[in-house]
Structures are given as C-alpha cells and as structure tokens.
A and B are shown apart, each in its own frame.
Chain A
Amino acid sequence: GAVVSQHPSWVICKSGTSVKIECRSLDFQATTMFWYRQFPKQSLMLMATSNEGSKATYEQGVEKDKFLINHASLTLSTLTVTSAHPEDSSFYICSAGAGMGNQPQHFGDGTRLSIL
C-alpha cells in the first residue's frame, strides 16, 4: 500500500487563489521531504527540500514567497502555491525517504493543479 499520501489529487481554481497541497508519510517518520514539479513530457524538477522544524531549502529559481513550504511534524509537509496564476499549472509531487542514507524515495500520487 501507499507509504506517502498526497492530497488533493486534482485542483482546478481561479487565478489569484492560493492552493495548499499536503504530503503525509503514513507509516514512517520523515525528517526530510521533497517537492517536485513536472510539466508534460518533462522531467521531475526539484523545487525544494522540506526540513522538519526548520526552513525549507529552495532550488535556484524557485520563489520561496510564491511556494510556501511548512514541515511542522515528522509526518506532514505542506506546499502552498500563493496567488496562483495559469503558468503555475503543473503536476506537483512530493516524496519522502523512509530511512537513513541513500534510500529510494517514496512518492505521493501527485497533485494536478490547473489554474484558470
């Protein structure tokens, strides 16, 4: 079964709306989670590393005031797309590692965001 739960799976909203996406690790604690963005037929692009109890680490070119990340507990990270516009429409995916070292990431099912 799924070890990482992501919600919602699909969002359609008007331009200017803020959208919150949740990522939960179901049966393990994740001190680190990752947020990716994927455009059609393109690769997963790492947006930021979410660190429990501290500020997220953003990749170059990602606006931290636009994409707010909160990792308040060991099982939950949230990504809020603030004042979303049509160009923010994309597939957003979170992932978490279950152990120490270089373990494979468990991915959430993704959130398809469409801004009208």
Chain B
Amino acid sequence: GQNIDQPTEMTATEGAIVQINCTYQTSGFNGLFWYQQHAGEAPTFLSYNVLDGLEEKGRFSSFLSRSKGYSYLLLKELQMKDSASYLCAGSTGGFKTIFGAGTRLFVKA
C-alpha cells in the first residue's frame, strides 16, 4: 500500500529554522520529493532524495533515511514568503508520484 504522513500545520518565526518531518510506506519506492505549494497555485519542485543523507540547496535542505522510511525538509532563515504548504511525495517508478496531505507552514513576524 501507499501511505505518506506529515504534520498538518506548523508555525515558526521569521528568521528561525523549521524542520518538517515525513514518514512513508510505499511499495516500489525509488525516491522522495519535496514540493512547495502556495494557496491556489501549482506545486513547485524543491528537492529529490534517492540516497540516504542530507542534501543542501541554499536555505532548504532535505534528508532521507530509506531504512527508516523517514525524510525531513529543513528551512533556514525563514522568510514570510516561505508561508506555504510543503508536500512530501514518494516516487514509485515510472514517474508515478504519491503525495502526502501536505504541511501548512505559517511564518510569523
């Protein structure tokens, strides 16, 4: 079966660091995506992890542990514009991607 879990909502302060966790159980797992989605807009790609470990890309970093079925997205130096939903998604091969429900992040001043 396919199951992706992530917190529903998180709140953080501008300039701070926030970690959004994701656990997954997907058959035929290949890799883990993170997307950002602002309200009323389509998702935009943030990161893709295939191997275990941390991948850093500017203010955003993503971590994957395949053995634990666990990933997190780390956002540093939070800005107000980072307020959005963050979608954890599992790739199961052949382009098919299964999305979690998303974590709505609220950044406050």
* Residues of A near any B CB (own CB < 8 A): 6, 32, 34, 36, 41-46, 49, 91, 93, 95, 97, 102-110, 112
Contacts and interface: CB of A to CB of B under 8 A. Distances in A.
Contacts of B45: 104-106
13 contacts: A43-B102, A44-B99, A93-B42, A95-B97, A97-B95, A102-B48, A102-B91, A102-B95, A107-B42, A108-B42, A110-B40, A110-B42, A112-B40
A40 to B, nearest CB: 9
Contact of A110 (B41, B98, B99): B41
A82 B17 CA distance: 46
Contacts of A106: 45
A18 to B, nearest CB: 23
B42 A102 contact: no
Interface string B30-54: 1101000000111111001010000
Contacts of B43: 44, 93, 107
A71 B99 CA distance: 23
A6 B95 CA distance: 19
B87 A102 contact: no
Contacts of B69: none
B7 to A, nearest CB: 13
Contact of B95 (A42, A105, A108): A105
A41 to B, nearest CB: 8
A43 B95 CA distance: 18
Contacts of A91: 40
B58 interface: no
Interface string B83-99: 00001000101111111
B87 A44 contact: yes
A93 to B, nearest CB: 5
A107 B93 CA distance: 18
Interface in B1-53: 30-31, 33, 40-45, 48, 50
